[in-house]
Structure formats: C-alpha cells, structure tokens
C-alpha cells in the first residue's frame, strides 16, 4: 500500500513539475474558462438589465455554464494529462516501471482535480466580482454537483485514454470532442421535460442531467434535491467502474496489438 | 560450442516443432531463485495480421551474462524485446524474466528490471533531476537524492542536471536515459541500441560504465545493437535473428569460426545477404 501511494506521489510530482515548467500552461488553465465566462457574463448582464421575461434565466444560464465547465474541464484535465505521456513518448517508460494501471488512473484523477481547481476557482471569483453572480450561494448543493461532475469527467477521461492507448494519436480528437456528444442530452441549459418523451430516459441515463436538474431546483424553487444527487452518485459509481474496466481491456488489447512501445510516433 | 548453444536454447532445440503450443519447460514447477535463468524465451511467436514478426524463438539468458540480440531491420528484435519486457503479449509461447511470465506476472518483476530504448523518451519538459527523481520514486529507490547524485557523478551529468531534458543533445539524452535505466540497480537490464546516437568516444565511455555496472552488480544485460564492435566488447553471447527467427547463436568467436569470418561484422553481413 505504501509503495502504491509513493508511486502515485511520484506521478503527481511528475505532473506538478510539468505545470511548473511553463507559466503558459498555467495561464491556459484559466484562460479558456475565463474567456467563456466573460461572454456569458455579459449576456447575463444584458438580460438582467433589460428587465425582459428572460431576465430570470440569466442566473441559471451562468450557473449552467460554470457547472458544464467543471464537467468539460474535468474530463479534459484527465485526458490531456494522459496525452502528455503520449506526446512525450514516455508511456512505455511508465508501463515498464512498477506503476500499476490503477495507480496511473488515480494519479490522472488527482491531477485532473488540481487542474480543475486552478482553472475554476479564479473564474468563479471573477464572475462574482464582475457580474455579481455568486456560485457559492448554491451551498452544499455546489459540493454535491462538483463531486458528481468530476467523477463523470474521470469516467469519460478513462474511456478516452483507453481509446488513445488502443488506437494511438488518431483517437486524440476524442479528448476535445466527446463531451459535445453528450451535451444535447445532458439538459445543461433546459429542463428534461423539454425533450421528446422517448428521449427522456436517455437523458436520465446520463449523470450530468441530474446535476443540472438539481441546480435548477435550487435556483428556481430554492430546494436541494438530495434524491437526485444520491441517484447521480450511485450511477456515477457504476459508470466509473465500467470506465475503468474498459480502460483495462483497451490496455490489454494494446499489449496484444503491440502498440505500446511505439506510442506517440 | 554445442554445449553452450544447447544451454542457451533450453531444451536443446533451436526451433521447436510447433508454434501452436508453448514448448515444455525442462525446469521444475517451483524452481529455486538461483537456478532460474534471468530470461527464458520459449517458442516465442508474435503474429501481426498474417505476418509472423517473431517466429518460434527460443533462448535462455543465464544470470550475470550479457547477451546481444542482433539482426537487420525488421528481423524481430524489437518485438522480441517488447515481449520480454511485457509490453507486447506473445501470440504463442512465453517470455519469462526471473521465473515470471511477462504476459501475466510482469508486476512481480518490474521493480527488478529496467530498460532504455530509442523508441521511448523521457519527458522533455522536465529537468534531468526531476526525471530521475520521478523514476527513482516510481521504482521505490531508497535514498533517492543520494542515488541521483551518484548517477550524476558516474555519468557526468553534473552540469546538465537542472536543464530541461528536451533541450539536451542526442548524446546527453542517451546518457540520461542510461542513468535512468540504472536508477533502481536492476537485476535485468534491457537495452535497445544503447549507444546509437553517441560519438565513438562517448559510446566507449558508456560501454565502460555498463560493463562496470554489470561486473559490480552481477546483473544480466540483454541488448540489441547494430554496432558489432560494441557487441564484441560487451556480450558474452550473441543471438542473431532474421525474418523473425533465430538464425545463429554463439559467442562472437564461435560465430566467426562457424561462418569462416574474421569478425562479427562479417558474420552479420554474410547472414544478412542470405548465407
């Protein structure tokens, strides 16, 4: 167990060194979410000031964008950290070391969380200062939303990383594009009832749907839907287990295919 | 010559009769640690599509020996090495390291192995010191700071320790990669073209370091190389592959005698041209 923790600490140190090596990388973590929030923040201000019927939806829009970014950046942080190993042709070094796949996955999760906190905390403060929108007013709900979205991001990141191991850099674009695939069904900006009836079960099979419905419940009704959060968490545990199994199977397949040694070329 | 070749090919058969089943091992089920060879390759085959990249390869590397795995481009050396390291799963047969099947039990032995290959690089955005620190910790090296200083001293890395690895010359990168390969004092060291991008002086210097390490530690080294002089200097035994198969094996002198050549370079050329 101690050996395992030491190896994960070594991997965390490796990613910390990488972040530390370039202020541009650190800036990039904040840059994209900040630019996005500026655009949506100004829209929020416009809707609020216009006193139109849309004014009340401004806050929901901003909250949804912030939480979507948690999911998107969580997955991206996981997948990009893994891609660093491919880009630097270091994966075989790691695979030949005593590092276990589960330890690699745990290190990527931790690093994804660190990257996410670096990227989102300054942006939430920026939104509060510039537009007066306080995401922390969601209280305990925010913690539940954050945990659930981060776990979903990890599960998707695990599958994306497995696909990259199996298919090589040809699957790299999945890291950028896969979240768009689930965006329409996650009901980020609209409630689930807007979807056709036959599509609603598909929406409820996705964990982010529970989070965004939960967020609307707080902002509209002032009510924390703990039932949704518990269901979401249980579903997330299933997805994370399935994703890790997929990661291991894809890794095994890559070993059969013989692509690990030349990965990144 | 026959006796040593027989020893290296395990059961005495250079080519086993069938690739459909692993060759029976002559070792008892529970072999003692001392009696277990460092590397045992048994009826090793790897098929990609319809092409057999490695085709019924058998050899044994006793502990403390340095063995050269030679062959032209596409001979199957890298695939064989990848299977010995457990990075590639054999289609048929098995590669054993220190008594453990690398397809299924590699985690039991990885701490006692290390490798260096031109196909693999150390993270470019980390300094040499950071890279050695990360890999030292991954391998659970005790007293890592002192170990890094020792390696820096031994490999003349003192002035580049705090430089980004990606900004080093090819030769410096090779020295760092070899230092990384020795960070855990491995019992089994696998080297793929260890001096490929070094000038003759630096290459000779690295060879001397490897030889010193091998003698000090009693480690086993399996290396591939296109530098026949290097192989003659370092290797106790040589396995030559062509088109996925072992076509010759023996000591450098034995091979020269067998093929009536002056040196290993001539043997290699003769075999490459289909002798």
Structure tokens at B201: 């002086």
Sheet holding B66-71, edge to edge: B113-116, B188-192, B220-224, B66-71, B237-242, B245-250
Look at A21 and B164 and tell me if their CB atoms are within 8 Å.
yes
Predicted confidence (pLDDT) at residue A130 exceeds the cutoff of 50:
yes
Separation CA B40–CA B98 (nearest Å): 8
Q: Which of A131-145, A233-247, B4-18 has the lowest mean pLDDT?
A: B4-18
B81-94 mean pLDDT = 94
**How far apart are the CA of B148 and the nearest CA of chain A, in angstroms?**
15
Q: Percent of chain B beyond pLDDT 90?
A: 61
Which of A23, A28, A97 to substitute to test the interface with B, most B CBs within 10 Å?
A: A97
Each residue's pLDDT tens digit, A153-202: 999 999 999 999 998 888 888 888 888 888 999 999 999 999 999 999 99
**A180-194, B5-19, B196-210: which has the highest mean pLDDT?**
A180-194
Strand-pairing partners, residue B12, are: none
Q: Which of A83-92, A96-105, A132-141, A205-214 has the lowest mean pLDDT?
A: A132-141
Domains (range + CATH), chain B: 2-272 (3.40.50.300)
Each residue's pLDDT tens digit, A28-40: 899 999 998 899 8
pLDDT at residue B8 in the model: 52
Each residue's pLDDT tens digit, A240-250: 999 999 999 99
Q: Calculate the average pLDDT of chain A.
A: 91
CA A197 to the chain's CA centroid: 28
- H-helix or E-strand spanning residue B67: strand B66-71
Look at B85 and A9 and tell me if their CB atoms are within 8 Å.
no
pLDDT at residue A54 in the model: 67
**How far apart are the CA of B31 and the nearest CA of chain A, in angstroms?**
24
Closest Cβ opposite residue A255 in set B48, B89, B111: B89
Q: Please provide the DSSP assignment of B184-253 as one string.
A: T--SEEEEESTTTTS-HHHHHHHHHHHHHHHHHHT-EEEEE-S-HHHHHHH-SEEEEEETTEEEEEE-HH
Each residue's pLDDT tens digit, B109-165: 999 999 998 778 999 999 999 999 999 999 999 999 999 999 999 888 989 999 999
**Is this prediction's ipTM beyond 0.85?**
yes
φ/ψ region of B113 (left if φ > 0, alpha if ψ in -120 to 50, else beta) reads beta
Q: Which residues of B touch A (CB under 8 A)?
A: 46, 48, 53, 78-79, 82, 85-89, 107, 110-111, 113-115, 117, 119-127, 130, 133-135, 137-140, 164, 180
Closest Cβ opposite residue B134 in set A14, A84, A261: A14
Predicted confidence (pLDDT) at residue B1 exceeds the cutoff of 60:
no
- H-helix or E-strand spanning residue B153: helix B144-154
* A residues 243-262 lying closer than 8 A (beta carbon) to B: 252, 255-256, 258, 260-262
B8-18 mean pLDDT = 40
């Amino acid at each position: 167990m101690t050996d395992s923790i030491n190896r994960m600490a070594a991997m965390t140190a490796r990613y910390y060194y990488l972040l530390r090596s370039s202020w541009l990388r650190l800036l990039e973590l904040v840059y994209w979410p900040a630019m996005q929030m500026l655009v949506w923040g100004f829209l929020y201000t416009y809707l609020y000031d216009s006193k139109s019927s849309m004014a009340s939806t401004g806050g929901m829009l901003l909250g949804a964008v912030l939480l979507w970014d948690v999911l998107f950046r969580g997955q991206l942080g996981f997948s990009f950290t893994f891609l660093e190993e491919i880009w630097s042709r270091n994966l075989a070094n790691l695979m030949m070391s005593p590092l276990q796949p589960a330890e690699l996955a745990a290190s990527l999760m931790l690093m994804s969380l660190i990257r996410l906190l670096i990227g989102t905390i300054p942006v939430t403060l920026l939104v509060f200062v510039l537009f007066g929108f306080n995401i922390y007013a969601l209280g305990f709900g925010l913690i539940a939303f954050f945990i659930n979205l981060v776990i979903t991001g990890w599960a998707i990141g695990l599958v994306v990383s497995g696909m990259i191991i199996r298919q090589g850099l040809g699957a790299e674009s999945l890291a950028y594009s896969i979240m768009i695939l689930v965006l329409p069904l996650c009901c980020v900006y609209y409630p689930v009832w807007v979807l056709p009836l036959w599509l609603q079960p598909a929406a409820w099979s996705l964990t982010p749907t529970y989070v965004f419905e939960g967020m609307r419940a707080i902002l509209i009704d002032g009510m924390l839907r703990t039932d949704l959060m518990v269901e979401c968490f249980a579903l997330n545990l299933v997805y994370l287990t399935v994703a890790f199994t997929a990661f291991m199977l894809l890794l095994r397949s890559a070993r059969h295919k013989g692509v690990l040694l030349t990965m990144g070329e | 010559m026959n006796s040593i070749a027989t020893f290296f090919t395990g059961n005495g058969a250079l080519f086993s009769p069938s690739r459909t089943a692993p060759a029976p091992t002559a070792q008892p089920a529970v072999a003692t640690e001392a009696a277990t060879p460092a590397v045992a390759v048994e009826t090793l085959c790897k098929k990609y599509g319809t092409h057999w990249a490695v085709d019924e390869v058998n050899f044994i590397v006793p502990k403390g020996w340095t063995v050269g795995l030679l062959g032209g481009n596409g001979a199957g050396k890298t695939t064989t090495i990848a299977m010995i390291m457990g990075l590639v799963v054999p289609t048929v047969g098995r590669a054993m390291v220190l008594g453990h099947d690398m397809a299924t039990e590699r985690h039991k032995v990885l701490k006692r192995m290390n490798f260096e290959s031109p196909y693999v690089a150390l993270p470019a955005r980390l300094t040499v010191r950071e890279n050695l620190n990360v890999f030292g910790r991954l391998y659970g090296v005790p007293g890592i700071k002192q170990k890094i200083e020792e390696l820096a001293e031994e490999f003349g890395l003192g002035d580049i320790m705090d430089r980004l690895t990606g900004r080093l010359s090819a030769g410096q990168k090779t020295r760092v990669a070899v230092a990384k390969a020795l960070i855990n004092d491995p019992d089994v060291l696998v080297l793929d073209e260890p001096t490929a991008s070094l000038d003759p002086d630096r290459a000779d210097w690295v060879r001397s370091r490897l030889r010193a390490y091998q003698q000090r530690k009693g480690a086993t080294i399996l290396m591939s190389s296109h530098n026949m002089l290097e192989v003659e200097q370092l290797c106790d035994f040589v396995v030559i592959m062509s088109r996925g198969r072992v076509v010759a094996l023996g000591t450098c002198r034995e091979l020269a005698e067998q093929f009536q050549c002056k040196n290993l370079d001539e043997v290699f050329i003769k075999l490459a041209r289909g002798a």
